[in-house]
Amino acid sequence: MAKPYATNSSNSLDSLFAAAAKLAEGNSIRDGIVSDIYKTTHEICRESVRYEDRKKLETTYRLDKIVTSPIWGFPIMLAILGVVFWITIAGANVPSEMLASMFTWIEGYLTAGFQALHVPEWIHGVLVLGFYRGTSWVISVMLPPMAIFFPVFALLENFGFLPRVAFNMDRLFKKSGGHGKQALTMSMGFGCNAAAILSTRIIESPRERILAILTNNFVPCNGRWPILILLASLFMAVGVSSQYQTMVTAFIVMGMVLIGVAVTLAVSWVLSKTALRGIPTHYTLELPPYRKPQFIKTILISSRDKSWNVLKRAVLVAAPAGVITWILGNVDVGGTSVLNHMAAFFDPFARAIGLDGFILMAFILGLPANEIVLPILLMGYMSTGAMVDADGLDNIKQIFLDHGWTWLTALNTMLFSLLHYPCGTTLINIYKETKSVKWTVLSGVIPLAIAIAVTFAVAQTVRAFGWV
């Protein structure tokens, strides 16, 4: 046990504190203390530390001066992001086509085999048209972009670029009333929102932490990159001459990211002026030295941990979903399939926000994981009898076009995917972290309200001007 204090009443401690406050005269002496300490350490180091080669030390500083400069910081960030998207989109097209035609080729043999064995038509429907086709779509559409995007992103990460992004973003977050570390948790969100929610533990102040949790959903995660990249490349660069198409697509995806970041900042700002009022607390962000990434290792690890896992999750959920969707699409009630009944139910509302019943249903059924929204949507469309030979991206586009898609539908689907509620895992994590039903519900409802408002506004504006 410690000895008791000389005087044991808390009154005397209070009067001591008051006496000190009086001496300080309300001035903040912290700056004085800190600068005297710095002066001392500077002196000690001048006497005892010798640098043989200052240039070697300065490479990092020189690079950081440019990369984190107020003028060049953002253009460089955007340029790098743009290049990453460009590489992904340009590189994914050909392997996607190849995979798709390979799967179609196999499907032909499967169907022939089923027919040769006189398997009942409905089993062929469930297994080949539902299960097999659904799974192969997912693989051919999602695997190539993921196999390129994730390793490239991981290389950037290992090079040490992400802390610089956080450094640049910090200024904006401070201005919007959030914590600088929110830039870091947001960067995590580009990988996985559920993991990013856990990463908000690094923010001490409960107010700023809730802010970071509520807005994390607005950056696209692993599960949403494929739908953004696919729709952008199918629909958004149509009017452009072919040599610029990839570039325009990359710009569109980058635009989506920027919209997400803008919404993050705007929502943070509004919340910090209303429900979560307060002054941002300070923090120190250390910029680690740049490192030459280990290319092979990074590519292998990110392929295994990210590309493969996302794909596995998509396939695992998509395979049974394919079967269920096929059954729903082929069981008739009153002359129309159950699936059509469901889609028809959502249709009027969905039309108002520029989507259709199937898209909205895919988003609702996709609550457990964003990866499965696209597969459910495709299977929903295919099960409605629109039999298309599945041998390439053009035909995916044909499926969409057959169901009345325009560039507005694609744009609003992308916007909705970007802004709508976080996935089930993320919501569970939010509840676990906040232990509050209120904040969990709000973290679903706020994004949903914004998603509906934005898509509604876009749809109505575009239609009012007669652009579609």
Q: Which is nearer to other proteins, 37 or 352 (CB)?
A: 37
Distance between CA atoms of residues 31 and 65, nearest Å: 25
Contact between 98 and 143 under an 8 Å Cβ cutoff? The reply is no
Which residue, 88, 265, 74, 89, is CA-closest to 178?
265
How many other CB atoms are found less than 10 A from the CB of residue 246?
21
The enclosing H or E element of 245 equals helix 242-273
CA dihedral for 165, 185, 259, 173, sign (positive or negative): negative
* Least CB distance to other proteins at residue 53 (A): 4
* Least CB distance to other proteins at residue 82 (A): 31
Q: Which is nearer to other proteins, 28 or 241 (CB)?
A: 28
Distance between CA atoms of residues 241 and 227, nearest Å: 23
Distance between CA atoms of residues 195 and 399, nearest Å: 34
Distance between CA atoms of residues 132 and 75, nearest Å: 44
Alpha carbon distance, N-terminus to C-terminus of the chain: 79
Contact between 385 and 125 under an 8 Å Cβ cutoff? The reply is no
Beta bridge partners of 333: 336
Q: Which is nearer to other proteins, 26 or 335 (CB)?
A: 26
The structure tokens listed for 385 are 């009898």
**Helix ranges restricted to H, 125-160:** 133-159
Q: Which is nearer to other proteins, 6 or 387 (CB)?
A: 6
Give how many residues touch other proteins by CB under 8 A: 50
The enclosing H or E element of 336 equals strand 336-337
**Helix ranges restricted to H, 274-308:** 295-302
- Residues 165-204, interacting with other proteins (CB under 8 A): 201, 204
Mask 238-277, x = binds other proteins (CB under 8 A)? ----------------------------------------
- Residues 203-232, interacting with other proteins (CB under 8 A): 204
* Least CB distance to other proteins at residue 206 (A): 10
Q: Which is nearer to other proteins, 47 or 239 (CB)?
A: 47
Q: Is 23 in the site for other proteins (CB under 8 A)?
A: yes
* Least CB distance to other proteins at residue 183 (A): 17
Using CA atoms, how far residue 449 sits from 203, 353, 419, in Å, is 26, 12, 9
Helix (H, G, I), strand (E, B) or coil at 332: strand
Q: Is 98 in the site for other proteins (CB under 8 A)?
A: no
The structure tokens listed for 119 are 């398997």
* Least CB distance to other proteins at residue 356 (A): 45
Q: Which is nearer to other proteins, 29 or 258 (CB)?
A: 29
Q: Which is nearer to other proteins, 201 or 273 (CB)?
A: 201
Which residue, 404, 435, 441, 437, is CA-closest to 421?
441
Span near other proteins by CB under 8 A; candidates 31-39, 95-103, 291-299, 413-421:
31-39
Residues counted in the chain = 468
Q: Which is nearer to other proteins, 19 or 238 (CB)?
A: 19
Span near other proteins by CB under 8 A; candidates 8-16, 233-241, 268-276, 437-445:
8-16
As a whole number of angstroms, the longest Cα–Cα distance in the chain is: 97
The structure tokens listed for 461 are 């504006």
Q: Is 16 in the site for other proteins (CB under 8 A)?
A: yes
Q: Is 282 in the site for other proteins (CB under 8 A)?
A: yes
Q: Is 8 in the site for other proteins (CB under 8 A)?
A: yes
Q: Which is nearer to other proteins, 56 or 292 (CB)?
A: 56
Q: Is 38 in the site for other proteins (CB under 8 A)?
A: yes
Mask 45-84, x = binds other proteins (CB under 8 A)? x-xxxxxxx--xx---------------------------
One-letter amino acid for residue 95 of the chain? P
Q: Is 281 in the site for other proteins (CB under 8 A)?
A: yes
Q: Is 118 in the site for other proteins (CB under 8 A)?
A: no
Residues contributing to the site for other proteins (CB under 8 A) = 1-8, 10, 12-14, 16-17, 19-21, 23-24, 28-30, 32-34, 36-38, 40-42, 44-45, 47-53, 56-57, 201, 204, 281-284, 286, 288
